[in-house]
């Protein structure tokens, strides 16, 4: 592998613009930067590097970024809500996970500019944010740990929302509030590895309510997970793998609530999956042949494989 290809591998995939300007000042290049309203796509053509052209994936799709703690990181585990969204938005949008196990809103602020740089050539169409479960844990006597006092949590979430709003006038935001927990199962599942976990539904509700109220003040869409999950009678057993993290059934509730917001939002363009174009949806002579033998069947929007026919 040449030095140029090594630089491409280690740098270009993370920051096209920095790479081009810093490492390839004399190379022939075309750089079309997405504008502030997210209208144009980004195109990078480097004439002397076959490595780059082989790794670029297109055409560009809208990006939905899931940003948060372990409920986001595990979004593709156990039939998770990230995986479900990826299926629903197949050929429509790319679902990107930026989840970090054990994180709180303080740590999120530390990396916010790195995860969502304002000068990125492509900005996400949608960011779904979840922090609160770790923030709402009771404080540890040592002062260590993930607990964040409620007023600080609210301010941290405000700063996150403000930053995301500044990325592009076309970037939409949804906050997920703190879900409930199965206190009995948490208390039974103590471990010698961790100190006692102080997680109560009283604390979860306070942080959930604070998140919802903040979203109302900021004009940000919100999903009240604390209420939504408890609408199911058997939520304690059905919705969690360990009393805290979501099972497949819990994830289905999250997806249903997100789709409800996306369907009702008066965003233009709409980000609801039924309103978004399907990639390469044109009819083709190479599709499967219908029983009549006289035409082909276009499968681009088939959904019969899904257990749930999402609205």
Q: Which residues are marked as active site? A: 69, 242, 245
What CA dihedral angle connects 75, 73, 212 and 160, to 10 degrees? -140
CA–CA separation, 124 vs 94, rounded Å? 10
**Beta carbons of 175 and 211 less than 8 angstroms apart:** yes
CA–CA separation, 255 vs 114, rounded Å? 27
3-class DSSP assignment, residue 6: helix
Q: Where does residue 191 rank: exposed (0-12), middle (13-18), buried (19+ CB within 10 A)?
A: exposed
The H-assigned helical ranges of the chain are 3-7, 16-23, 50-55, 70-73, 81-88, 105-115, 150-165, 183-188, 201-218, 225-229, 235-238, 248-264
Q: Is the C-alpha dihedral spanning 135, 140, 143, 145 positive or negative?
A: negative
Of the candidates 101, 34, 105, 45, the one whose C-alpha atom is nearest the C-alpha of residue 74 is: 101
**In Å, what is the CA distance from 133 to each residue of 105, 115, 148, 216, 295?**
10, 20, 10, 20, 54
């Amino acid at each position: 592998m040449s030095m140029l290809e090594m630089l491409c591998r280690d740098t270009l995939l993370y920051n096209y613009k920095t790479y081009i300007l810093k490492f390839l000042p004399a190379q022939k290049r075309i750089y079309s930067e997405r504008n502030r309203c997210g209208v144009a796509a980004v195109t990078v053509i480097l004439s002397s590097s076959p490595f780059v052209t082989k790794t670029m994936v297109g055409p560009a799709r809208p990006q939905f970024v899931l940003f948060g703690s372990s409920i986001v990181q595990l979004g593709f585990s156990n039939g998770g809500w990230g995986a479900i969204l990826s299926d629903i938005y197949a050929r429509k949008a790319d679902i990107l996970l930026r989840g970090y196990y054990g994180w709180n809103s303080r740590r999120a602020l530390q990396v916010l500019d790195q995860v969502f740089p304002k000068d990125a050539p492509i900005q996400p169409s949608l960011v779904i944010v979840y922090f609160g479960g770790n923030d709402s844990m009771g404080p540890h006597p040592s002062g260590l740990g993930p607990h964040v006092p409620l007023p600080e949590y609210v301010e941290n979430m405000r700063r996150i929302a403000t930053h995301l709003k500044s990325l592009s006038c076309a970037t939409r935001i949804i906050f997920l509030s703190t879900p409930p927990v199965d206190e009995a199962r948490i208390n039974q599942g103590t471990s010698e590895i961790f100190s006692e976990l102080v997680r109560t539904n009283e604390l979860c509700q306070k942080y959930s309510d604070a998140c919802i109220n903040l979203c109302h003040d900021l004009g940000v869409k919100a999903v009240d997970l604390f209420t939504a999950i408890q609408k199911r009678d058997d939520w304690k057993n059905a919705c969690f793998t360990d009393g805290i993290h979501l099972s497949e059934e819990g994830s289905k509730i999250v997806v249903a609530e997100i789709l409800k917001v996306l369907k009702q939002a008066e965003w233009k363009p709409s980000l609801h999956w039924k309103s978004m174009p399907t990639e390469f949806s044109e009819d083709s002579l190479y599709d499967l042949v219908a029983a009549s033998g006289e035409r082909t069947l276009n499968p681009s929007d088939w959904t019969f494989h899904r257990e749930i026919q999402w609205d």
